[in-house]
Structure 1
């Protein structure tokens, strides 16, 4: 089945053959690599099943979507190619070269980008990838950056939900007051799939404080059902939550590159995995339809691997 390509990809492929004189065979290789790259990023962004990415449409990709791609996203893709697809170093190197060429074209020839995220890309040494999550110390620093304004309790509660429960931003925005039953949270995820997860103590405390100190004090509520409300009493949007995360990131002094609600979800999954959560439990908590998607979150740093070997009881 022929892939319906976004215009920006078509333009690049035409440039390869008409301006740079690449052969049709080379053009096909570039096309294959970039289609796979786009599908992978959409799968991670939307929590789609990466075991069959041929069904993922990419024709809606535009320059605004591409501008959100970071170096860490590229490294995550190359890690996927190595671990999941078992690609050789040569194959990964080719994919990296394709991505570098594509971004160089967008920035240098089309002037569509202010920054090229592939400038510092190393191939195929993906072991030196930029971290794609916050560690525990960074998470604590991030939380300290929540401004002590009139929305402090709301924002603190939302960040606790992200970092402890690993929920999606769309799920957080759609939460209602009746989504909570005692210490459980009922979530309607992608494709209207439902799941229930437990609220730990820090989430329950943050929720109780928010409801008492802020949610119940709002006079002009326009959405009585919504759990998290804006200053005008309306349900928060994904864009607003993303702006709140961005502001906290800067205000904390952390300034993590392109920190988004999805990166907080990734952080939560990583911290749980490092604390001993098994892959199947993580799959249920995160609401993934395929365990192969959950495995993306189970990277272990080289330093930790070295520590495990060093602590072998025979290493005396």
Structure 2
């Protein structure tokens, strides 16, 4: 069913109406192969159909859907939440007054300091939302078409603006691993140590670690093979020496409330969150005396990839180990391949010595 674009008494309420409809549309179009709680998703859909009075309530519904196992919904919603929070301060009387110039202005204010990857995500989210509006609004047999492309938006700088990943040096990794061994967490110490060591020793994503089931880890001589369910529901296998994680794997408490068999669960039987894993990474980094601009769990993956390339100089190996679809994604880990730069420094030093003599 289609509705007039300005379907409510003010812009704020109209935008909320369409935002709720868009979220409902995304909930039913995203892949549900990871869905763990169909009843929770049904509840969210039911409440969305009845109308959502506030952006905070809609935010809560999105989080419920994400926690139920519907991946990707936050990626589409969060930029629109930020956009809404800024748009409501503009003195416009109709959604029809929103154009590329206004959108670009708002994007410039809400994406300052973000990486190019995040800015691209904001751009895609905005374009998809207004494309949805183009197709769903209608009044007197006519639709208002925004036709938002943001081709000239200057928020994205391209490859030259790519930021280098945050990572630990070999010495810092040793201190980090020692801090893991010495750490005492308030709850489930073996579980927390195991997930940190699996990520740092294999480079898998935090989300991939949280999806691990006990049956995904099996012995192969001196190794553990770990079956990973990766992005796009593709599978790959990573390996780790058994002695590195076996004591923690043997000691981890199995909570049988979790009938699906997930390895990293809380005391209620639900899976851990990425935010929780990042918090324990920060605790261990603090204990090890390591300070980084970005202390989240994803930094462990960057560390694994950086040190792997540094020691092997094999970009294809990095691509396969990290499960990157494209070799270009892996190229960022060549950032410290500075042997030729060292040669240049030596040449300049020799020239300087010749001048001094």
1:257 offset after TM fit, Å? 2.6
CA contact (8 A) 2:166 2:293 kept: no
1: CA distance between counterparts of 2:317 and 2:293? 29
1:58-117 Cα offsets, whole Å, 9 max, x none, are 5799xxxxxxxxxxxxxxx86x63288xxxxxxxxxxxxxxxxxxxxxxxxxxxxxxxxx
- Structure 2 residue corresponding to 1:269, chosen from 296, 301, 305: 305
Give the whole-Å Cα distance in 2 for the aligned partners of 1:27 and 1:168.
Answer: 36
Q: Distance in 1 between matches of 2:123 and 2:327?
A: 18
**Which of 161, 166, 169 pairs up with 1:135?**
169
Alpha-carbon spacing, 1:39–1:245, altered in 2? closer, same or farther (3 Å):
closer
User: What residue number does 1:82 align with?
Assistant: 160
Residues in 2 aligned to 1:291 and 1:54: alpha-carbon distance in whole angstroms: 24
Q: Could you state the TM-score of these two structures normalised by the residue count of structure 1?
A: 0.57
Measure the CA separation in 2 of the matches of 1:305 and 1:31: 43
Q: In structure 2, what is the equivalent of residue 107 of structure 1?
A: none
- Tell me, yes or no, if the aligned pair for 2:206 and 2:298 is still in contact at 8 Å: yes
Deviations 1:192-219 (A, max 9, x none): 11111222x2xx224321132233xx5x
Residue deviations 1:14-48 (CA, integer Å, cap 9, x gap): 999xxxxxxx99989878988899683249xxxxx
**Residues 171, 245 of structure 1: CA spacing in aligned structure 2 closer, same or farther, 3 A cutoff?**
same
CA contact (8 A) 2:80 2:126 kept: yes
Q: Which runs of structure 2 are paired with 1:211-226 in the superposition (5 Å)?
A: 211-215=249-253, 218=254, 220-224=255-259, 225-226=261-262
Unpaired runs of at least 5, structure 2: 1-76, 91-98, 130-155, 351-357
CA contact 1:13–1:27 (8 Å) conserved in 2: no
Alpha-carbon distance in structure 2 between the residues aligned to 1:186 and 1:139: 25
Query: Separation in 2 of the partners of 1:38 and 1:227?
Result: 33
Map of 2:229 onto structure 1: 188
Q: 1:293 and 2:329 equivalent?
A: yes
Whether the 8 Å contact between 2:213 and 2:262 is mirrored in structure 1 is yes
Structure 1 unaligned spans of 5+: 17-23, 44-49, 62-76, 85-125
Q: Is the 8 A contact 1:145 1:248 kept in 2?
A: yes
**Change over 3 Å in CA distance of 1:190–1:307 after alignment to 2:** same
How many residue pairs were aligned? 232
- The 5 A counterparts of 1:165-204 are 165-182=202-219, 183-199=224-240, 201=241, 204=242
Structure number with greater Rg is 2
TM superposition score normalised by structure 2? 0.52
Provide the rounded CA distance (Å) in 1 between the counterparts of 2:82 and 2:272: 32
Asked if 1:57 corresponds to 2:94, the answer is no
Contact 2:176 2:285 in 1 (8 A): yes
Structure 1: distance between partners of 2:114 and 2:100: 20
The Cα shift of 1:170 comes to: 0.6
CA distance in structure 1 between the partners assigned to 2:324 and 2:123 by the alignment: 17
Greater relative CO (CA pairs within 8 A, separation 6+): 1
Q: Deviations over 1:133-185 (max 9, x none)?
A: 11111122222223135644333322222222111111000100111232311
Q: 5 Å matches for 1:228-243?
A: 228-243=264-279
DSSP-derived class of the 2:262 partner: coil
Match of 1:257 among 285, 293, 297: 293
Q: 2:178 aligns with which of 144, 155, 165?
A: 144
Report which stretch shifted further, 165-174 or 233-242: 233-242
Instruction: Specify whether residues 32 and 237 from structure 1 end up closer, same or farther in structure 2 by C-alpha distance, changes over 3 A only.
Output: closer
CA distance in 2 between counterparts of 1:248 and 1:221 reads 28
Contact 1:143 1:159 in 2 (8 A): no
Residues 216-271 of structure 1 deviation map (CA, whole Å, 9 limit, x = unaligned): xx5x5322512223345543222221221122122222132331111111111111
